[in-house]
Amino acid sequence: MKKAKMSVAAKKEERWAWLFVAPTMLGLIILNFYPIVSTIYQSFCKTGDFGKGNIFIGLKNYQAVLVDPEVWQSFWNTIKYAIIEVPFGIAIALVLAVLLNKKMIGRSLYRTIFFVPMVCAPAAVAMVWRWMYNTQFGLLNNVFHTKIAWISDPKIAWISVGVIGVWSIIGYNMVLFIGGLQDIPGDFYEAARIDGASELRQFWSITIPLLSPTTFFIVQTRIIGALTVFDLMFMVMDKTNVALKNVQSAVYLFYQYAFTNGNKGYGATIVVVLLIFIMILTFILQRVEKKWVYHN
Amino acid sequence: MIESAQKKAAIRRTCKHIFLIIMACIMIVPFAWMILTALKTKQESISVNPFYILPSNGWHWENFATVWKSYNFLILYKNTLLMIFFRVLCAVLTATMAGYAFGRLKFRGKNILFAMVLIQMMVPGQIFIIPQYVMVSKLKMLNTTFGLVFPGLVTAFGTYLLKIGYEGLPKELEEAAAIDGCNVFQRFSQILMPLTKSSMVSLGIFTAVFAFKDLMWPMIVCTNSTTTTLSAGLAKMQGQYGSEYPTQMAAATLAILPMVVIYVIFQKQFVEGIATSGGKL
């Protein structure tokens, strides 16, 4: 019935629409959908000798991954990195955004400076920080007259790498926060000022709750971003670095297995486990969002 | 009473600026140190006693020229530029078309197809990499620009961004054009597409910056130092010039300089492009 009712114009429109979405959908199927299925299949396989062929081995990779202390350690390292990057990157950015939201001298210059790391290749940024962290000749140890092994002492290397992550992301988070702050109507603050609320009080009672959708969005994207960190670890940590085991992230380990050691099956298993972990976390965050985020 | 309140405000303002200046210094120091090291001799860079902040032995600008030549930066720039150009072109072209269809047209299967787009956006990209690599290698396209561009031929995120852009345009525009006898394609190309320019620019900048920053994919598909990008080239260089810090820092400077200069010139578009794109994700 419905089909018969479709006018010639509507049919034409539909044909155009399919034509327009065709490249994207075809691309997504080849570049994304097939790869998801293929990666999951790969995780049930082992790579044959000389890197040729896939031999189906069932759940063996998963059994191995779940008892592999290196994998557990790498997931723990990834979480530790996230525990530094996400809260500090967000808290500092929020303070900067609140300070820079009002008109003041040098506002745009500050913003420009804080945002620069966002357009820099992490590979270059990591190289520079690695040089600053250098135990013998580095800037930090020479300026502070210390002899700290910033990136080769397993106890502190993860913090040092986390600091680079925070430094890199502050500007981006800040700009997102400024966007959110501009959506808060000015009369809220006006009313609070008339009631005699201090600036700090205004921050806690108006800014924080009304900014919560933005904050939540940043938290969610940054958690996923931090859990898939790779570039910093790869560039900062030498293969011979004794602290590597305590810093390498899950994606770093995935890269090593899939592309350096030629064990794609094991690499695929690690990345599938990471995907499941992220999906569970996203699900939990969505639940939390309903409870904590302020909706009009 | 009023005077003390003014004093308080002045103190608060000063504290604010001090905090901001300290933060700004923390952001700048790594860059300053990178450039200062790049201008030193190797001996100076690894001398501790005395410890030189500024180059003491003349400013060795020739370090840049040496790295430029010895590492063939011209080719790295060319590869990176080509990759960015084609990724931006493909992303904007396909996302504009699909965004228009999803945002303005009625067709069967629209909801299911759009759900497919959304799912892509939520999955971390690392899960695609092994099969994408296998495809590129089967196509014998390793170490080519096509290989570098391959994962960016289409974009789920861009499609979503442009869909929102098209949805935001007033309905009357199209109705008037339809009465005038414009067909779907004319309505798209002549009336609506020009109005989504800002979304297209945002997507273009977003795509360019993230393509420029990407490290893992170019390292995997372009293992050759003449076919790879700036990011992956740096990774190779770090291995080669292990303790030649001035060389490393000169290379790092050359790698990030073009993007930083472009950013400073087109600051507004950059911040808007990255933040509005990121904010809508």
pTM of the predicted structure, to 2 decimals: 0.92
Do residues A19 and A91 share a domain?
A: no
Chain B residue numbers touching A215 (CB-CB < 8 A):
none
CB of B179 within 8 Å of a chain A CB? The answer is: no
- C-beta atoms of A120 and B256 within 8 A: yes
Q: Which of A51-55, A66-70, A260-264, B5-9 has the lowest mean pLDDT?
A: A51-55
Do residues A30 and A81 share a domain?
A: no
- C-beta atoms of A125 and B30 within 8 A: yes
How much is the pLDDT for B172?
84
Residue A50 included in any domain: no
How much is the pLDDT for A13?
87
Q: Is the pLDDT of residue A143 over 80?
A: yes
- Nearest Cα of chain A lies from the Cα of B278 at a distance, in angstroms, of 8
How much is the pLDDT for A126?
95
- C-beta atoms of A34 and B131 within 8 A: yes
How much is the pLDDT for A51?
59
Chain B residue numbers touching A33 (CB-CB < 8 A):
116, 120
Residue range A100-117, pLDDT digits in tens: 988 888 888 999 999 999
Beta partners for A55? A46
Give chain A's mean pLDDT. Answer: 91
Question: What is the spatial distance between Cα B14 and Cα B188, in angstroms, rounded to a whole number?
Answer: 53
Domain that holds residue A32: 2-42
Do residues A83 and A16 share a domain?
A: no
How much is the pLDDT for A1?
43
CB of A127 within 8 Å of a chain B CB? The answer is: yes
Amino acid in the structure at residue B32: A
Inter-helix orientation angle B156-167/B197-213, to 10° = 160
Do residues A20 and A119 share a domain?
A: no
How much is the ipTM here?
0.92
Do residues A198 and A273 share a domain?
A: yes
Q: Give residues with Cβ within 8 angstroms of A223, minimum separation 6.
A: A82, A86, A281, A285
- Nearest Cα of chain B lies from the Cα of A247 at a distance, in angstroms, of 18
Do residues A150 and A82 share a domain?
A: yes
Query: How confident is chain B (281 residues) per 10-residue block, as mean pLDDT?
Result: 80 91 96 94 83 83 90 93 97 96 93 94 91 95 96 95 91 81 84 91 93 96 92 89 88 94 91 72 50
- C-beta atoms of A92 and B23 within 8 A: yes
Residue A193 included in any domain: yes
Do residues A220 and A122 share a domain?
A: yes
Residue A56 included in any domain: no
Q: Give residues with Cβ within 8 angstroms of A146, minimum separation 6.
A: A140
How much is the pLDDT for B178?
78
CB of B187 closer than 8 Å to CB of B177 = yes
Residue A52 included in any domain: no
Q: Best residue in B12, B27, B163 to probe A by mutation, most A CBs within 10 Å?
A: B27
- C-beta atoms of B267 and A23 within 8 A: no
Q: Best residue in B154, B155, B222, B228 to probe A by mutation, most A CBs within 10 Å?
A: B154
Q: Is the pLDDT of residue A26 over 50?
A: yes
Chain B residue numbers touching A254 (CB-CB < 8 A):
126
How much is the pLDDT for B262?
94
Chain B residue numbers touching A116 (CB-CB < 8 A):
27, 31, 260, 263
Residue range A168-185, pLDDT digits in tens: 999 999 999 998 898 888
Chain B residue numbers touching A278 (CB-CB < 8 A):
124
Fold exhibited by the domain B71-280: MetI-like fold (1.10.3720)
Do residues A131 and A35 share a domain?
A: no
Do residues A151 and A11 share a domain?
A: no
Residue A62 included in any domain: no
Domain harbouring A88, CATH code: 1.10.3720.10
- Each domain of chain B, given as residue ranges in start order, spans 2-64, 71-280
The mean pLDDT value for A234-242 works out to 91
List, as ranges, residues 58-87 from B with C-beta within 8 Å of A. none
Q: Give residues with Cβ within 8 angstroms of A190, minimum separation 6.
A: none
How much is the pLDDT for B183?
82
Chain B residue numbers touching A224 (CB-CB < 8 A):
124
Do residues A77 and A134 share a domain?
A: yes
Question: DSSP string spanning chain B?
Answer: -HHHHHHHHHHHHHHHHHHHHHHHHHHHHHHHHHHHHHTS-HHHHT-TTTTPSS-SS---THHHHHHHHHTTHHHHHHHHHHHHHHHHHHHHHHHHHHHHHHHH---TTHHHHHHHHHHHHHS-THHHHHHHHHHHHHTT-TTSHHHHHGGGSS-HHHHHHHHHHHHTS-THHHHHHHHTT--HHHIIIIIIGGGGHHHHHHHHHHHHHHHHH--HHHHHH--STTT--HHHHHHHHHHHTTT-HHHHHHHHHHHHHHHHHHHHHTHHHHHHHHHHHHHH-
Token digits of residue A129: 């920080």
CB of B64 closer than 8 Å to CB of B250 = yes
Number of domains in chain A: 2
Chain A residue numbers touching B183 (CB-CB < 8 A):
12, 16
